Structure 1
């Protein structure tokens, strides 16, 4: 397959500072909206900010495609190819193997040292968020659609489509892969965002290999779907 990146980078017209402002607006906007409008405008605590981020994503896409006339292909929103599916399947198998090893280790620790594990994860934002999602009563469909569909789609547009593409143009693919994965991990504000860092590396590499967002979007959805199922297990297994 021909390398799509030279043409993509040449047609990336949204300015670098515009990308940074968009990312900050997308990330911090929900907190501002929550302060101004109140939490009651959202469905549940685990879904706070989702509606705002949907609106912010639409706004940034309009800014990119209409105002700056950036073609959608410049941020990876091109027609899917068969190679995208091959890359997605390969990475899914690889990441699934890594997740299985980590998961088995976690289950072993949980089995032999349940008290220690409970104390270790208490207060961890990632675990608490998973448990809050699992605890939602009457909103399981909304939580599932948010975590498995909406958030992966929006995060890939911002962290890979916008952030990675700009970093790649400025600093090259190697720095862009590492830097975008690091920003992606830190944006989740966990005490130890190792899973987000590893995921960010996989997603960025998939984007680099295909030049399209469909592979990282699919991988992100698979990963979040697995975490969503894991949340139900954690909610029942950990009394923290």
Structure 2
């Protein structure tokens, strides 16, 4: 049964190559997703590659988001860093500013902010870092929405700062029964079957539910759904998701 009028944003982490090291197929993903979480040079990405991605996103009408993270190129931003909140806030401001200049040069603009990797996971419960990131976004532009997990310390801090919060779900990541993501160190933390993932996303969008790793159903809020651009088969997974949503009349569109 089709469900006309329902829409969801599809986002992907892009611009994560560095120098001679390429990661994922940014151009192919930009033909599918509606929002691009573009690295800002701290966890991944270099200026020429980031400008290229911003131009490609602008050409396709895909929204550009600043994907801010810890200053950790070697660890791809996936290692927790106990950084002082004042320092973290300044680093987030710096990253948003850098990507904003590149996006402007590409004829577009940064329209939202999404934390990356370990920072994303940390600010679910780490109040100091959550407040630091929210304060940084507000200092740059109080009108910038932030993507993240519903019910997190980050959303609480962002709402207190007057920022719009956009709840995000992960298409290709396993969930624990408490709603947290399964650690990448554990088996089947990242899913790979495109058809299974597409059906899973449909349930997230239409029913607000997803099956946790232990088989239990949990509630989930999904205004935007993330497909990791660096996962094996990412393009095929994203295409399968968009096709499955289209079959049910769900429109892929940037969050309003």
TM-score normalised to the size of structure 2?
Answer: 0.25
Query: Larger relative contact order (C-alpha < 8 A, sep ≥ 6)?
Result: 1
**Which structure has the larger Rg over C-alpha atoms?**
1
Higher strand share: 2
